[in-house]
Homo-oligomer: A and B are copies of this chain.
Amino acid sequence: MINISVLGYGTVGSGVVEVLNTNQDSINKKAGNEINVKYVLDLRDFEGDPIQKKVVHDYSVIVNDPDVQIIVETMGGTNPAYQFVKEALEKGKSVCTSNKELVAKHGAELLQIAREKKVNFLFEASVGGGIPIIRPLNQSLTADEIEEITGILNGTTNYILTKMSTEGSDFETVLKDAQAKGYAERNPEADVEGYDACRKIAILTSLAYGMQVDYEDIYTEGITKITDKDIKYAKALNASIKIFGTSKKSGDKVYAMVAPMMINDKHPLYSVNDVFNGIFVKGNLLGDVMFYGKGAGKLPTASAVVADVVDAAKHLGTNIMTIWSSKKLELASIDEASQKFFVRLEGSKEQNEAKVKEVFGTVTEVKAGFQDEYAFITPEMKEKAFGEAVNKFENMISRIRVAF
């Protein structure tokens, strides 16, 4: 029997217990051992709930119990998750976590401790919910040099953008609907400002290059400025707007960003809608592979955590090598990244055309039936040059990067 303990009995933590109960037989068979939940750490008591008899309020009971071999951390945040996880690893317990903040910030250090102690620090659920992406990146795509990772990494914003597109509603209306349905949190900042996607692309990029990518260094732009009019222009182009987390190798440099993108149906992520996530990886020999599934939700996320528990159970006493050193990967400035941009200006075509031609050269006009504005797609140009060019237009309404 392998004893595990779950830290935090919220959505994902209670999901982990539910997954273990529901698929008990097949999970034990695959783990090669019976998995038993010995403790649950939570501030609450859960009176009347069958879990009540396993609840403890004091972490030292868990971390000092030599019978506990695997810790599941589903508290979120870094305090006290970081201290708890570090202590568990140092005491020779494996840890499985869904906590992207913890992994993005302290992944390199925690993996190092796990290596020294011959235990495992696993975090499949921290990116892409139930979609296998961490393990494939670590263990399946190892023959390739990764040239690009681009993902729709946040289900909430993908839901909002999909609804804005299908229903023609504006951002605020759809956000309220998403909050009412439980798809968006009451404080939606982490999702809609792109912070969540930023931590996830930081984790994927760190694993792809084996070095620490600090998420604070990643240019991050959310979807709060996307309007229903922008969506109508996208539709006029048979395109859609998605928020991408991307990292790309360019020569010996890597740059990363989170930003809304206009894509058309030639893009492998075009049909990733609603709360689904999709992650596209380009290897130098393999070409393109894509992973798709539910990027969030109680059971898909808990399923990924439990798959890590099974892996940890199969690897008791052996460290699964994961290359992610604490050496910092200096990201290149996105100034040199190059693409087309969709731009909307106040005023008529006649009022803007000459100046636009002077500044951007030949552009492609986009019409969506709105009066008193002029919209176009620029030629491919560098971020820096675009920034300087667009600064010359005080009448700019919006601009969105274009990937076609």
For A136, what are the chain B residues with a Cβ–Cβ distance below 8 Å? 132, 135-136, 140
For A92, what are the chain B residues with a Cβ–Cβ distance below 8 Å? none
For A293, what are the chain B residues with a Cβ–Cβ distance below 8 Å? 286-290
CA distance A285 to B291 in the complex (A): 18
Kindly provide the distance from the CB of A13 to the nearest chain B CB, expressed in whole angstroms.
14
CB within 8 Å for A294 and B303 given contacts A135-B136, A135-B139, A140-B132: no
Instruction: State whether B132 touches A141 (Cβ < 8 A).
Output: yes
Kindly provide the distance from the CB of A138 to the nearest chain B CB, expressed in whole angstroms.
9
Query: Does A365 reach chain B (CB closer than 8 Å)?
Result: no
Instruction: State whether A307 touches B23 (Cβ < 8 A).
Output: no
Instruction: State whether A289 touches B29 (Cβ < 8 A).
Output: no
Query: Does A268 reach chain B (CB closer than 8 Å)?
Result: yes
For A375, what are the chain B residues with a Cβ–Cβ distance below 8 Å? none
CA distance A395 to B314 in the complex (A): 58
Instruction: State whether B294 touches A288 (Cβ < 8 A).
Output: yes
Q: Is the interface of A mostly helix, strand, loop or mixed?
A: mixed
Query: Does A168 reach chain B (CB closer than 8 Å)?
Result: no
For A285, what are the chain B residues with a Cβ–Cβ distance below 8 Å? 19, 22-23, 299-300, 302-303
A-B contact pairs, 24 of them (CB 8 A): A19-B143, A30-B323, A31-B142, A124-B140, A130-B287, A130-B289, A135-B135, A139-B139, A140-B307, A142-B306, A143-B304, A143-B305, A143-B309, A283-B303, A285-B299, A285-B303, A286-B293, A286-B299, A287-B299, A287-B300, A289-B292, A290-B290, A291-B292, A314-B321
Given contact pairs A143-B307, A287-B299, A290-B291, enumerate 5 new A-B contacts (beta carbons under 8 Å): A136-B140, A142-B311, A270-B271, A286-B294, A286-B304
**Residues of A bordering B, CB below 8 Å:** 19, 22-23, 26-27, 29-32, 124, 130-132, 135-136, 139-145, 210, 268, 270-271, 283-294, 297, 299-300, 302-307, 309-311, 314, 318, 320-321, 323
